[in-house]
Amino acid sequence: MNRLQGKRLLITGGTTGIGLETAKQFRLEGARVVVTGQNPDTLAQAQQELGEEVIVIKSDAGRVDEQQRLVAEIERVFGRLDGVFLNAGIAIFQPLEAWYEATFDNLIAVNFKGPFFLIQNLLPILANPASIVLNTSINAHIGMPNSSVYSASKAAMISLAKTLSGELIERGIRVNAVSPGPIATPILGKSGLPAEALHQVTEMLRSQIPLKRFGNPIEIAKAVVFLASDESSFMLGSEMIIDGGTSTL
């Protein structure tokens, strides 16, 4: 229970779902933790659940200037970081003809552009060694209808795990990825789908999982703990697929 003892770790999108559960697991393993989010209600709830020792910061994951401000705040309170879980993301599922440029730009900003520039801004304060874990998605592999832009954004993150691994290893920074299948989190509820359409998407996803259930956030969080810890020191540019068998169909 002390695999992360003394480590200083950041989780983006850490106020709900996978991010919140990972923050809890990080704390149980002895880490000092910063989490980010955007919704005032979930920020307050996360602070209550995680306790006052966890630093909760309001930050928009899709804005480059917000990443700069976030890094300055982390440097002020921690000085350095030993690891990062880039978890913040949004999911929008709709057919090709329904996309508008503004919606496209927003999803790419939150899921790829923001995380990319956050890593760039974090470089001066990342310790040697350090671990970066990217939350991607099984959607990058399975070609699910109506997921074109979301899947592309997650495929970009998988590619980033590989390319930055080669680029940053001389700094002692390991980059790896987790690719969850359908997980029981609030992300689908934030997609803007009407209730009936949301139910249809949920049941469609469930039917494609060989285990016939959604995953639980803790099943992803445990993998992230491993990748953030020294136990995974020989893993570099790797992708851990945790999808209940979805990608085997």
Cis peptide before 180 (omega within 30 of 0): no
| Residue-wise burial string across 80-102, b where 16 or more C-beta atoms lie within 10 A, e elsewhere | ebbbbbbbbbbbbbbeeeeeeee
Compute the distance between CA of residue 31 and CA of residue 9 in angstroms, rounded to an integer: 7
CA distances in angstroms from 194 to 28, 61, 121, 203, listed in the order given: 38, 25, 38, 14
CB 175 within 8 A of CB 218: no
Q: What does the pLDDT read at residue 106?
A: 98
Cis peptide before 129 (omega within 30 of 0): yes
CB 134 within 8 A of CB 177: yes
Residues in the chain: 249
150 is annotated as an active-site residue = yes
Place of tokens 């209730």: 195
Averaged pLDDT for residues 123-146: 96
Q: pLDDT above 90 covers what percent of the chain?
A: 85
Label residue 18 by pLDDT band (50, 70, 90). very high
Q: What does the pLDDT read at residue 168?
A: 98
- Looking at domain 8-239, its CATH class is alpha beta
Among the listed residues 239, 230, 164, 235, the one whose alpha carbon sits nearest the alpha carbon of residue 7? 230
Q: What does the pLDDT read at residue 212?
A: 87
pLDDT tens string 155-203:
999 999 999 999 999 999 999 999 999 998 766 665 556 677 677 777 8
Could you say which of 85, 93, 150, 214 is catalytic? 150
Q: What does the pLDDT read at residue 61?
A: 98
pTM of the model: 0.94
